[in-house]
A and B are shown apart, each in its own frame.
Chain A
Amino acid sequence: MSTVEQELPNPLVEGLERLPVDPTTLVIFGATGDLARRKLLPALYNLAHEGALPEHFRLIGVARREKAHEDYRAECEQAIHQFSRRAVDADVLKGLLEHVKYVPGTFDDEHVYDELRKVLEQFEKHAGERLNRLFYLSTAPTFFPVIVQALGRMGLAEHEGSAVRVIIEKPFGTSLAQAKELNRCVLAVFSEPQVFRIDHYLGKETVQNMMAFRFANGMFEPLWNRNYIDQVQITAAEDIGIGSRAGYYDQAGALRDLIQNHMLQLLCHVAMEPPVRFSAEEVRNEKVKVLCAIAKPIAQEIDRIAVRAQYSSGHSGGEDVAGYLHEEGVRENSSTETFAALRLEVDNWRWAGVPFYLRAGKRLARKVTEIAVTLKPVPHLAFSQDGSLGVRPNQLILTLQPNEGVTLQLGAKIPGTRMVIRPVNMEFLYGTSFLSQSPEAYERLITDAMRGDPTLFTRNDEVEAQWRICDPIVKAWEQTPGPLEQYEAGSQGPRQAQRILRADHHWRAI
C-alpha cells in the first residue's frame, strides 16, 4: 500500500518538509557497480543523515562476485566516505550499515532469489512488521528482463500487505522494438504503478524549476506559442570525452545517450500544456501529448532533420586530446556518433511551424545545458539604419548547468548622443537566491519511489513515444554506417549541423 493511495488522511503530516516513508527493504541488483558506489549508496547515506529514510530501512546488495556481508558493508562504507556530499557522521553510518546484507550470484540463478527471499523474510522478522520491497535494477540493460522474470517466477513481485516496486535504470531499450519488448516483459510481472523507469534528469531541481518558471509566472505564458516564438534550441554540450565509458558509449552514442531520453524530456517541459494539477498522471499525460504531436520521421527526410558526427583530435581545457576513434575501448572504425542534432516540430495548435532544435555532443567548446527560446523580431523598427544594426530578436535562455538561471536578452541604447542599440542581458541566477543546497537527483528519486510517487519517472507510453521519434533515425544511421563527419575536439561541433536549420536560423554559440 502506498501512502499516496490511502484514503484516511494523516493530520500530522501537514507542514512537514520530510513526509513519512513506509518501512522498506531496498534491493540493489548490480550492488558493486559504479552507479551504486558513486550515486546510490551516498544518496542513501545522505537520506539517513537527514532523518529522511523510513523508520525501518534495510538494504540488500545483489551482485555476481562472492563476498561476505562484512566485506560488502566495508565496500559501502568506503564508497560513502568517498562520494557523500556531506561529512559522514560515524554513528549514522554505523546504524545504516547494521542493516545491510549481501547476496552473491548471477542474475539468472534461481538460488540467488531463494537466498534473497530468506534475507527479506529475516529482515521482516527482525523488524516485527511487513516491509515494502523496492528492487533497484542497476545492472547492464541485458539483465533487466532476466531479473524481472526471475522476480515474477520466484513470487517476489508481490507481497501481501505491503508494496513491491521496481526501479529500472536507463537505457530503457535501445530501440522502439526493444523498449516495447521490455515494457511487455516488465508489465507481465508488475503492474504499471509498481514500475519506476528512472531518468535522473527528472530528479534534478533544475528540470523541476522549469515547471515553476512556466506555470508560476504569468508574464511568459501569453508569449509561449507560435505567434511570438520563432525557434527553440535545446543544447546539452560537454567538454569532456567518453572517459572510461567506451564500453557503454560506443554501443549507445549521443542520440540514445542523451537525446532519446533527457533532451526529449526537456522539450516536453518547454512545450507541454499546463497540467490541470501536479499529479503524476496529469503531468505525464501532458508530456505524452507533446511527444505524440511530434511526427515520426520518415526515412527520406532524415538527412534534412538529423546530423551526426564524431570528434577528432583537438584541444580541450588547454590540452591536446585524442579523437574518438583513438579513445581506449572504442571499436576500430566505429560509427558511433559523439554529436547528434535534430530538428523536430510539435504539430499542435500552440507550436505548429516552430522548429525545436536539439543538439548533444561530447568534446565541444564548453559544458553547458540550456534551452534558448528566440522570439520573433519586432514588426517595425523606427530607428535609423545604423541605429537598428544591433537590434536582435529577444531571447530567453534557461540555463540548466553549470550556472542555473534565466537570461532575457533585450535591446538597449548604447549611452551617447546617437540612438544606437545593442543586445544586453537581464540575468537571474538561482544560486544567488536560495540558501538551500539542491539534493542529489538520486536522493529525491529513491525517496519518491519508496513513497510510491511516480511523478518524476517515465511512464510506459512515454518511453515508447520517445523511441517512436528516435527509432527511425537510429535505423537510418545503422544502415549507413559511415565514416562519420569529424569535428575538432573543443570546437562548436560539425559544420554540417547548420544543414538542418532553417535558412534564417543559426546555432547559438556553445
Chain B
Amino acid sequence: MSAVRDSVWSEQDTTPDAIEGALRELLAERHAEHGGFAPARVLNMVAFVERQYSGEIANRLRGVGRYHASRLVVLSYHPSQRSLDARVTVASEGDPQPGELALLRETVVVQVGAQHLNDLLTIVDPLLVSDMPTLMWWPHGHPQTLEALISLAQAVLLDSIDEPAAGAAIDRACELSRELYVVDLAWLRSTPWRERIAATFDPVPMRAELGQITSVTVTHHPASAVPALLLLGWLSSRLAWQAMPLAGDGALHGSASGPRGEIALRLRPAPALQVPGLQGLEIQTASGRLVRLDRGRGGLCAHRRDPDGRTHTWTVLGASRGEAGILGEGIRQALLRDPTYIPALTAARAMLPTDRPRQPKGAAQ
C-alpha cells in the first residue's frame, strides 16, 4: 500500500476565512504539482469532540479506510480554549499513477472553547463544501452545540449504545429523526441479523411462516439493548405487529399482537459477550419450526429445527466488520436512505418499559 502524503497548514488565533483560504491554497498546490490529484467530493463530516479524547476519535476515523468523509471538520473542544487555532491537512494515498487519479481528502481540526460555542455556526459554515451532504457526529455529548449546527446538516451519526439507558437513546434518536436523517450504529449492528432473517424466510414455503411466528428471543451484550430493541422493532414494523411495552429489569419480556395472535418477545443480556452488539436470535413458529442464529467465527452459526423434528446446523459465512467497519458503514449510510429504520425505531420505542423515566426533548445526552 502506498504511503499517505500530507500537506499541512496551521495557524493560531485564526479565522474561518483564513482556514478556508488555506484549504483552497493547499488543494491548488497539490493540483499544480500533478494534474492527477483531485479532491474527493462526497461528504462533509463535522465531529464535535472533547480535546482529551480527540486522539481516540482520530484513531477511530483512521480505521474507516475508504469510507473517510471527503472533508472532515473536527471541532476539538476544551472549555478554557481562548483563541481559534486550526490545522488543515490535505492528504493523498501516495502519488497518482500514470492515467489514474489520486484522491485528496481534507481534514480541518479547529480548537474551540466555551467562548466559541455561540458562534459555531459562523465558524463551521464557511468550512463546508457547498452542495454536498453534511453529516454531524457528536460522540461526546454536548447536544446544545449540535442543535446550533443542525441547519447545516442532512444527517447525524449516533451510536445509541453509548447512552447509559436504552430508553433515553431511543427517545433521542426519535427526536433527531424529526429534523435529520439518523444513522444509528446500533441499527447497523443489527444489519447482518436482519439480512439473515430475511434470507431464512425468503423461500416460498418459509414466507407463509412469517405470519405464524409465536416467539422471538434476542440475546445481546449487556450494553447493547438498543440494537436488540431495534431488531424487534424491525420485525414488528415489517410484519405489522402491534408493539406493546416490555417489562423487566435487564432481561425484558412481553408480547406483540400480530394479525394471527400474540408473539412472545424476550431480550436477554449475555454478560459473556466481549464486543458490543447482538449475541443471538431465536424465532419459533406455530408449526413447531425453530430458527436460531448465534454469533460465531467466520459468520453466524445457524440452527434450524423443522416441524417434523429434523435439525440442521450450518455456518452462514461473513467476516466481522469490527468497530471500525461499523463506523465506516455509518459514514457510507449518510449518503443512503433506509426506509425501514424509522418504522423500526417507532416500534422499538413502543416496546420500551413504561416505568422508565421519560427524557425531556433534547436532553438525552
Cβ-defined contact, B203 with A22, below 8 A: yes
Is the C-beta of B310 less than 8 angstroms from some C-beta in chain A?
yes
| A95 and B42 contact, CB distance less than 8 A | no
Give the residues in chain B near A429, CB-CB below 8 Å: 38, 101
Chain A hits for B116, CB < 8 A: none
Q: Any chain B CB within 8 A of the CB of A435?
A: yes
CB 8 Å contact bits of A39-81 with B (1 = contact, 0 = none): 0000000001111011111000000000000000000000000
> What is the CA–CA distance of A20 and B302 in the complex, to the nearest angstrom?
15
B340 within 8 A of A: yes
What total of chain B residues lie within 8 Å of the partner, measured CB to CB?
54
Interface hits, B195-225 → A, CB 8 Å: 195-204, 207-208, 210
Q: Select one of B67, B312, B317 contacting A95, CB under 8 A.
A: B317
Q: Which of B42, B202, B314 has a CB less than 8 Å from the CB of A56?
A: B314
Q: A10 near B: Cβ within 8 Å?
A: yes
Interface residue? A146 (CB, 8 A)? no
Using a CB-CB cutoff of 8 Å, which residues 1-55 of chain A contact chain B?
A: 1, 3, 6, 8-16, 18, 20-22, 48-51, 53-55
Chain A residue contacts of B208, Cβ below 8 A = 8
With A402-B99, A432-B41 as given contacts, are A89 and B202 in contact (CB-CB < 8 Å)? no
- Closest Cβ neighbor of B334 among chain A residues: A435
Find the A residue at minimum CB distance from B237.
Answer: A11
Given A12-B238, A15-B339, A92-B299, A48–B318 Cβ distance below 8 Å? yes
The residues of B that contact A436 with a CB separation of less than 8 Å are 66, 332
Task: Given A8-B208, A53-B317, A435-B335, answer yes or no on A92-B298 (Cβ-Cβ < 8 Å).
Answer: yes
**Nearest opposing residue in chain A for B320, CB measure:** A89
Cα A367 to Cα B99 in complex, Å, equals 8
Q: Are B66 and A48 in contact (CB under 8 A)?
A: no
Residues of A within 8 A of B140 (CB): none
In the complex, which of the residues A1, A20, A50 contacts B198, with contact meaning CB atoms closer than 8 Å? A20
Are A12 and B319 in touch, CB under 8 angstroms?
Answer: no
* Interface size in chain A (residues, C-beta < 8 A): 47
Render B66-90 as a binary contact track against A, CB cut-off 8 A, 1 for contact. 1110100000000000000000000
Are A96 and B197 in contact, CB atoms less than 8 angstroms apart? no
B39 within 8 A of A: yes
B314-361: which have CB < 8 Å to A?
A: 314-320, 331-332, 335, 338-341
The CA-CA distance from A434 to B68 in the complex, in Å, is 10
B157 to chain A: closest CB distance in Å? 14
Instruction: Fill in one digit per residue for B94-118: 1 if any A CB lies within 8 Å of its CB, else 0.
Output: 0000011101000000000000000
Knowing A15-B339, A48-B318, A95-B315 are in contact, say whether A437-B66 is a contact too (CB < 8 A).
yes
A498 at the interface (CB under 8 A from B): no
A13 touches B41 (CB 8 A): no
Chain A, residue nearest B70 (CB): A432
Determine the distance from Cα of A6 to Cα of B101 in the docked complex, in whole angstroms: 44
Say yes or no: is B363 at the interface (Cβ < 8 Å to chain A): no
Taking a contact as CB atoms under 8 Å apart, the answer to whether B198 and A92 are in contact is no
Task: Judge if A128 is at the interface, Cβ distance under 8 Å.
Answer: yes
From B42, B194, B200, B297, A55 is in contact (CB under 8 Å) with: B200
Instruction: Answer yes or no: B40 CB below 8 A from chain A CBs.
Output: yes
A479 at the interface (CB under 8 A from B): no
- CB-based contact A431/B103 at 8 Å: yes
Give the contacting residue for A92; candidates B40, B318, B331; CB below 8 A.
Answer: B318
Taking the nearest CB of chain A, how far is it from the CB of B300, in angstroms? 8
Bound state CA distance, A42 and B352, in angstroms?
45
Smallest CB-CB separation from B99: which chain A residue?
A402
* CB–CB A10/B195 < 8 A: no
* A49 interface neighbour in B210, B316, B318, Cβ under 8 Å: B318
Shortest beta-carbon distance, B310 to chain A, in Å?
Answer: 7
Contacts of A128 in B (CB 8 A): 304, 306, 310, 312
Contact status A433-B41, CB under 8 Å: yes
Rounded to whole angstroms, the CA-CA distance of A9 and B204 in the bound complex is 9
| Known A-B contacts A12-B197, A16-B198; A403 and B101 likewise in contact (beta carbons under 8 Å) | yes
Chain B contacts for A11, CB-based, 8 A: 210, 238-239
Q: Are A57 and B207 in contact (CB under 8 A)?
A: no
* Cα–Cα, bound, A129→B202 (Å): 14
B39, B66, B101, B314 — which one has the most chain A CB atoms within 10 A of its CB?
B314
* A96–B317 CB distance below 8 A: yes
Q: Counting CB contacts under 8 A, is A444 at the interface?
A: no
* B298 partner, pick from A1, A21, A95, A433, beta carbons under 8 A: A95
Contact B38–A432 (Cβ < 8 Å): yes
Contact across chains for B339 and A14 when beta carbons are under 8 A apart: yes
Q: Is B248 an interface residue (CB 8 A)?
A: no
Q: Does B288 contact A (CB under 8 A)?
A: no
Give the docked Cα–Cα distance between A55 and B313 (Å): 11
Any chain A CB within 8 A of the CB of B43?
A: yes
Alpha-carbon distance A57/B239, docked complex (angstroms): 28
B338: chain A residues within 8 A (beta carbon): 15
B162 to A: closest C-beta gap in Å: 23
Q: Which residues of the partner chain B approach A431 to less than 8 Å between Cβ atoms?
A: 38, 101, 103
A15 touches B101 (CB 8 A): no
- Does B192 have its Cβ within 8 Å of any Cβ on chain A? yes
Give the complex CA separation of A116 and B80 in angstroms: 74
B42 CB contacts on chain A under 8 angstroms? 432-435
Chain A residues, CB < 8 A from B298: 89-92, 94-95
A8 touches B318 (CB 8 A): no
Q: A10-B202, A91-B299, A95-B298 are in contact. List 13 more A-B contacts (CB 8 A).
A: A1-B204, A6-B204, A8-B207, A12-B201, A13-B198, A22-B202, A51-B195, A51-B316, A56-B314, A128-B304, A402-B100, A432-B39, A432-B41
Which residues of A are in contact with B by a Cβ distance under 8 Å? 1, 3, 6, 8-16, 18, 20-22, 48-51, 53-57, 89-92, 94-96, 127-129, 366-367, 402-403, 429, 431-437
- A sample of 8 inter-chain contacts (CB < 8 A) reads A8-B207, A12-B201, A15-B339, A56-B314, A92-B318, A95-B299, A403-B99, A435-B332
